[in-house]
Amino acid sequence: MLERRFSVASRASHALFLSLHGLSVPLAPAMQAEAAAAADAAATTAAATQAAAPSATTTTPLFGGALSAAIPARLADVALARPVPDHQEVFADPSSDQALVIEVLEHASDVPDGEGAARFYFEDLVEQNEASEGARLGRVEALRNSSSSSPGSASSSSPVLLLRGLAASPAPPSARSSALSTALDACSYAAVAVGTASISKGGSSTPGSAAEQQRRRNAVSLALALLRFPAVGSDLLVSLTTATALGDGNYSSAVVPADLAGRDPAEIAAEAERLLLAIVGSLEVRDWRLFG
């Protein structure tokens, strides 16, 4: 039973939290010290967990238990430190400047299934986060396409294997039938879009000249999974942003290990994509009342 009803956000209202340190939700002065302490505690817990078991994951309830997914324990729940919109779940690891966002949006019925839908959401995300300049979508790989008998270009694997959590979840009650018995059946299209962007921790409000702001921007890999459920009027986005190079003098450079500079950005991006696919593959729907 859900403790509260979560509203589906219109796509115009969504924004991606590209980094824990880039969160821009305003806090009242009386809450700032408490939030900072909570953020420090969450970061300490995440760092300790990663040191003990770097690859440890835990099945995490999302949206009051309506969804669940296997999420690395090192990714701390940002809601413990500061407000997060009802239609989002946000997790972050300050030690790697990595952020995971899961969000439920109104189904964009005017955007047809296919590569164009994944491209639409990728471009919308970077635009909403003032990261359009220099952003590049590398590729889109289909995981599921109900109009095709094959999974698409992502892999020769069956969608049942790629999206095993959805295959194990029941279809929405309102659409359940002999031909539509699982959440995977209800998913008309699923894909992963992979690209790059550069972000400023403070966005356009960061003090300094345009040149100084540009030097402070972090290079990030952006891996975005799109899962479409038109039967319940919703699109589900799972996005993972990971720093691949740090700008000069921003907050990240003080908390992210310096050896990031010695790593191949392509290797970092590939690891992030594998993590995103693992999270999306584990995603289960437990209560369809979350949608619509």
- Position 15 scores a pLDDT of 52
Tell whether the model's pLDDT for residue 212 goes beyond 50: yes
Tell whether the model's pLDDT for residue 275 goes beyond 90: yes
Pairwise pLDDT comparison (212 vs 238), residue with the higher score: 238
Amino acid at 231: A
| Contact by Cβ (8 Å): 285, 183 | yes
Report, as an integer, the average pLDDT of 215-229: 87
Report, as an integer, the average pLDDT of 197-206: 62
- Position 201 scores a pLDDT of 59
Quick check: pTM over 0.85? no
- Position 14 scores a pLDDT of 53
Tell whether the model's pLDDT for residue 214 goes beyond 70: no
Tell whether the model's pLDDT for residue 282 goes beyond 80: yes
| Contact by Cβ (8 Å): 238, 163 | no
Q: Could you give the domains of the chain?
A: 11-290 (3.40.1000.10)
- Position 39 scores a pLDDT of 45
Q: Which residues are paired to 62 by β-bridges?
A: 67
- Position 215 scores a pLDDT of 63
* Mean of per-residue pLDDT scores for the chain: 77
Q: Report strand pairing: 98-106 vs 234-245.
A: antiparallel
Longest dimension (CA), the chain: 61
Amino acid at 52: A
Report, as an integer, the average pLDDT of 90-107: 92
Task: Write out the two tokens for 283.
Answer: 């995603």
Separation between Cα atoms, residue 91 and residue 290, nearest integer Å: 19
Q: Which residues are paired to 99 by β-bridges?
A: 92, 241
Query: Measuring CA to CA, which residue among 132, 163, 169, 287 is closest to residue 225?
Result: 163
The sign of the CA dihedral 92, 237, 144, 61 is positive
Q: Backbone dihedral region of 212: left (phi > 0), alpha (psi from -120 to 50 degrees) or beta?
A: alpha
Pairwise pLDDT comparison (8 vs 45), residue with the higher score: 8
Separation between Cα atoms, residue 88 and residue 55, nearest integer Å: 24
pLDDT band for 129, please (50, 70, 90 cuts).
confident
Report, as an integer, the average pLDDT of 47-75: 80
Q: Find which of 3-17, 30-44, 68-82, 137-151 is predicted with most confidence, using mean pLDDT.
A: 68-82
Report, as an integer, the average pLDDT of 84-95: 92
DSSP-based three-state secondary structure for 283: coil
**Strand (E) or helix (H) holding 165:** helix 164-167
